[in-house]
A and B are shown apart, each in its own frame.
Chain A
Amino acid sequence: MGAIRKPPRRQLPGPVQWMRENLFSSLFNSILTVVAIVLIYQTVVPFVGWAIVNAAWSGQGREACLPYADGACWPFIIERSGQIVYGFYEQAERWRVDVVFMLLGIGLAWLMMPRLPAKGAVGVVMLTVFPVAAFVLLVGGMGLPPVPVERWGGLMITLVVAVTGIVASLPLGILLALGRRSELPVVRGLSIAFIELWRGVPLITVLFMAANMLPLFMPDGMTINKLLSALIAVALFSSAYMAEVVRGGLQAVGKGQYEAAAALGLGYWRSMLFVILPQALRLCLPNIVGNFIGLMKDTSLVSIIGFLDLLGIIQSGNADADWATPNTAMTGYVFLGAVFWVICYSMSRYARALETKLQGGDAR
């Protein structure tokens, strides 16, 4: 019969205690904290000052920015916003680009939101009907006046390159991955050669090849559109990377699944299509999204071969004498960096969420 001992009350750490534990637990730790504070102070404070406090926010032309010597020149971005989104696409026809953006947005949102049904059907529509519709809308035809590719630019061409690369590289990459794991020596050899060739060289040489060599390979009298040859280059290049991602997924599917498919009497193509690939693709979905992020960033390379994509438009603005201020270049890059960062970071968060979801599914 003793007094009931109460467990010691767990004390919630106060701010001082928290700081002592997490910031100043040892001499080295304290030094790190001071270094971190100095680094943050040296970067964040001047950046906020430049981007917000000291920046020019309104006005017309470079005169609006010149008085703000230590601040961003936002009127540059505001005035160029049309070009940044549409390039030099005809004003009257820009609604067509908007429709394509909207279709793409709806399709992607549908695929990414976990609650919505019929993901498979929507996916197939996005991979088949959507590209055709987008092609007709952007290029013209079926009653729509044609818009030459030379007038395309900005966000629109960036998305055209990225989406084409993604849509084309997925089926090509799956075929190549299957080829690389094939028992047929010729198929395997050709697949390995193709994959390793593209993975071993920089994208810029592939784009140079498309610009300089593809026209030579065409039959007499047949010319190839400059944008199309760049798209082919991006598709070939990214399909090699996609093949390696899919191969990882194929390897992660258990041996028993292959055996079970064989035991059911399924042939090679049926067992792949109905048993192996659905599991493999699910397993490597996070890595596929990771690949898309890489592709999205790589699209900026088309500005080197003369396309006015997002980066190309910003570069041409920097070279424009009408906007010659000390802060134009920095403003353009910071703005574009923010745009790319939002797109790529949200994709990577999505990939991370997918990964945890898939792992959770395995644990059941």
Chain B
Amino acid sequence: MARPPAHRGRGARPRDVLYQALLLGAVAAVIAGMAWNASHALERQNIASGFGFLDNTAGFDIVQTLVAYDETATYGRVLLVGILNTLLVAVTGVVVATVLGLVIGIGQLSSNWLFARLCRAYVEILRNIPLLLQLFFWYFAVLRALPGPRESWSFLGSAFLNNRGLYLPKPLTGPGFEMVVLALGVGLIAAAILAHVRRRQREETGRAGPVLLPVLGLSLLPPLVALALAQFPVSFSWPALAGFDFEGGFTVLPELIALVVALSTYTASYIAEIVRAGIQGVPKGQIEASQALGLKRGEALRLVIIPQALRQIIPPLTSQYLNLTKNSSLAVAIAYPDLVSVFAGTTLNQTGQAIEIIAITMAVYLTFSLLTSAAMNAYNRRIALTER
């Protein structure tokens, strides 16, 4: 960051102090004026101000809730339900978009002419069409056009897709399942310790012991043994057609499917470009050097190319994750009950407390943004080039 050296130390000059004081005064005056007008307007319209409304009864139902909720719950509870629904979409979307973007990004560099062209076409088509239009396409044109429950598409007789959503078998846990979870936890910790020890060993002695198989074994064997000991305490509730609709299993709302599909396919086109640029950004000399050292293609990729590409990929990838989270607010257009839809939409219309509700909504998204960038910055620092 090159700062203009000629203007160093400006902050101390009296003229600059005056200018800054004037600017601060002007901003404060504008904000105070708006607050004054707003308080008058609210008084005229008889709208209470403050955050007391969060304790009032909401009185409306929400089609998908991850925590207990009914019509007698408070607006505060509505806020929580909305935040969780937004997070559900964001996390699912980020995972799917990353996998898809990785495949398509590497595919763009494939030596297979046809496959590379196909990936390129995917990127150029998806990212030049508005996301909202793609969302409407998936929701109104694709999912609505699916057959009704009686003519559902069936996957192996255990999962069903129709115009009311996706029906999946729901795992039910029996007594003794806690043991399995506990065993899994112990196994994972043991595997992490082993991986750490092996890495230290390799760094100190230069000799690499087997890692992958022992780690897999340590993390998978204990829970499997526990499962067998507890006589497989897992059963499934299978969805089955009963009358005009399905019963049993659990249902994924069509709104959720449309939102996740639209968000992840759209964001994947951006991630693919980031991945492509990251891999192409690794200097050719590095690849040649790894060949000269006698590394196999897989080793070169894992030990030389990917670590260096990641450094270029992580920062823009972070902003794509944030974009996906923010874009999940388009849910309001297809009435998926996310934060904007149930809180900045329904709750705002019922209470009229626009200022508080918009402020809370924006604060929630700002918090998401700050937390995500903090986490990704920490990760980025860890993998950044350590220059001696």
In the bound complex, CA of A219 to CA of B327 (Å): 33
Contacts A186-B20, A217-B34, A298-B130 known; A201 to B362 CB distance under 8 Å? yes
Does A348 sit at the interface, judged by CB under 8 A? yes
Of the listed stretches A53-61, A82-90, A129-137, A334-342, name the one at the interface; the rest are far from the partner chain.
Answer: A334-342
Question: B346 contacts the other chain (Cβ, under 8 Å)?
Answer: no
Produce 1/0 per residue, A290-310, CB < 8 A to B.
000100011111011000000
Contact of A341 among B10, B27, B40, B128 (CB under 8 A): B128
A274 within 8 A of B: no
The CA of A229 and the CA of B333, in the complex, are separated in Å by 20
Whether B1 sits at the interface, judged by CB under 8 Å, is: yes
Q: Which residues of B contact A202 (CB under 8 A)?
A: 326-327, 329, 340, 365
Q: Which of A36, A204, A213, A215 has the most CB of B within 10 A?
A: A204
B9 cross-chain contacts in A, Cβ below 8 A: 183
B81-136 interface with A by 8 A CB criterion: 110-115, 118, 124-125, 128-134, 136
Interface residues of A in 238-279 (CB under 8 A from B): 251, 253-255, 258-259, 261-262, 268, 271, 276
Q: Give which listed residue, B1, B110, B137, contacts A337 with CB less than 8 A.
A: B137
Docked-complex contact B118 and A40, CB < 8 angstroms: yes
How many whole Å from B209's CB to the nearest CB in chain A? 30
Contacts of A212 in B (CB 8 A): 348, 354, 358
How many residues of A are counted as interface, with CB atoms below 8 angstroms from the partner's CB atoms? 70
Q: Which residue of B lies closest to A247 (CB)?
A: B1
**Least distance between A355 CB and chain B CB atoms (Å):** 13
| Nearest chain A CB to B236 CB, angstrom units | 31
A172: CB under 8 A from chain B? no
Interface residue from A181, A197, A209, A340 paired with B130 (Cβ < 8 Å) = A340
A36/B118 in contact, CB under 8 A:
yes
Contacts of A203 in B (CB 8 A): 326
**Closest Cβ–Cβ distance, residue B74 to chain A (whole Å):** 21
B124 to chain A, nearest CB (A): 7
Chain A contacts for B2, CB-based, 8 A: 251, 253-255, 258
Contact of A345 among B4, B124, B370 (CB under 8 A): B124
Looking at the complex, which one of A40, A184, A200 makes contact with B366 (CB distance below 8 Å)?
A200
Residue A358 at the B interface, CB < 8 A? Answer: no
**Which of B38, B131, B365 contacts A217, CB < 8 Å?**
B38
CB distance from B213 to the nearest CB of A (A): 24
**Shortest Cβ distance from residue B108 to the other chain A in the assembled complex, whole angstroms:** 13
* B41 is an interface residue with CB less than 8 A from chain A: yes
Q: How far is the CA of A268 from the CA of B11 in the complex (A)?
A: 13
Contact of A330 with B by CB under 8 A: yes
User: Interface segment, A21-29, A96-104, A111-119, A163-171?
Assistant: A21-29
Q: Which residues of B contact A36 (CB under 8 A)?
A: 112, 114-115, 118
A29-B112, A219-B37 given; A301·B5 CB < 8 A:
no
Interface residues of A in 308-341 (CB under 8 A from B): 311, 315, 318, 326, 329-330, 333, 336-337, 340-341
The complex places the Cα of A258 from the Cα of B5 at a distance, in Å, of: 7
Cα-based distance from A126 to B4 in the complex (angstroms): 31
Complex interface: chain A residues within 8 A of B38 (CB): 213, 216-217
Q: Which residues of B contact A298 (CB under 8 A)?
A: 130
Residues on B with C-beta less than 8 A from A217 are: 34, 37-38
Chain A contact surface mostly: helix
User: B152 contacts the other chain (Cβ, under 8 Å)?
Assistant: no
Near A by CB (< 8 A), chain B positions 347-373 give 348, 354-355, 358, 361-362, 365-366, 369-370
Tell me whether B130 and A190 are in contact (CB under 8 A). Answer: no
A213 engages B358 (CB within 8 Å): yes
A271 adjacent to B6 (CB under 8 Å): yes
The stretch among B139-147, B169-177, B225-233 that forms the contact with chain A is B139-147
Contact A341 B11 (CB under 8 A): no
Contact of B114 among A23, A251, A271 (CB under 8 A): A23
In the complex, B3 has a CB within 8 A of chain A: yes
B42, CB-defined interface residue at 8 Å: yes
* C-alpha spacing A157/B289, complex, angstroms: 56
A205-B362 contact given A186-B23, A219-B37, A345-B124, CB 8 Å threshold: yes
Q: CB of A92 within 8 A of chain B?
A: no
Judged by a CB distance under 8 angstroms, whether B344 is at the interface is yes
Contact of A184 among B19, B42, B332 (CB under 8 A): B19
Chain A minimum-CB-distance residue to B1: A251
**B344: A residues at CB distance < 8 A:** 205, 208
In the assembled complex, the Cα of A311 lies from the Cα of B334 at a distance in Å of: 14
Q: Which residues of A contact B11 (CB under 8 A)?
A: 183-185
B62 to chain A: closest CB distance in Å? 19
Task: Identify which of B16, B128, B131, B141 gathers the most chain A CB atoms within 10 Å of its CB.
Answer: B128
Could you say which residues of chain B place their CB within 8 Å of the CB of A199?
369
Q: Which residues of B contact A304 (CB under 8 A)?
A: 132, 330, 332-333
In the complex, are the beta carbons of B3 and A181 less than 8 A apart? yes
> Is B388 an interface residue, CB under 8 A from the partner?
no
Give residues 1-48 of B contacting A (CB, 8 Å): 1-11, 16, 19-21, 23-24, 27, 33-34, 37-38, 40-42
Q: B113 and A22: CB pair below 8 A? A: yes
Tell me whether A23 and B113 are in contact in the complex, defined as CB-CB below 8 angstroms, given that A208-B340, A216-B42, A311-B130 are known contacts: yes
Look across to chain A and name the residue whose beta carbon is closest to the beta carbon of B114. Answer: A36
Q: Are B5 and A220 in contact (CB under 8 A)?
A: no
Given A255-B2, A329-B140, residue A200 in contact with residue B365 (CB < 8 A): yes
Q: List 15 A-B contacts (CB under 8 A).
A: A32-B112, A36-B118, A183-B3, A184-B11, A184-B16, A185-B20, A197-B362, A216-B42, A220-B41, A258-B4, A297-B130, A301-B330, A311-B136, A318-B140, A341-B128
- Which A residues form the contact surface with B (CB < 8 A)? 22-23, 25, 29, 32-33, 35-37, 39-40, 181, 183-187, 190, 196-197, 199-205, 208-209, 212-213, 215-220, 251, 253-255, 258-259, 261-262, 268, 271, 276, 293, 297-301, 303-304, 311, 315, 318, 326, 329-330, 333, 336-337, 340-341, 344-345, 348
Query: Could you list which residues of chain B lie within 8 angstroms of chain A, going by C-beta atoms?
Result: 1-11, 16, 19-21, 23-24, 27, 33-34, 37-38, 40-42, 110-115, 118, 124-125, 128-134, 136-137, 140-141, 144-145, 326-327, 329-330, 332-333, 340, 344, 348, 354-355, 358, 361-362, 365-366, 369-370
The 7 closest A-B pairs by CB, nearest first: A262-B6, A212-B354, A344-B128, A186-B20, A255-B2, A22-B113, A202-B326
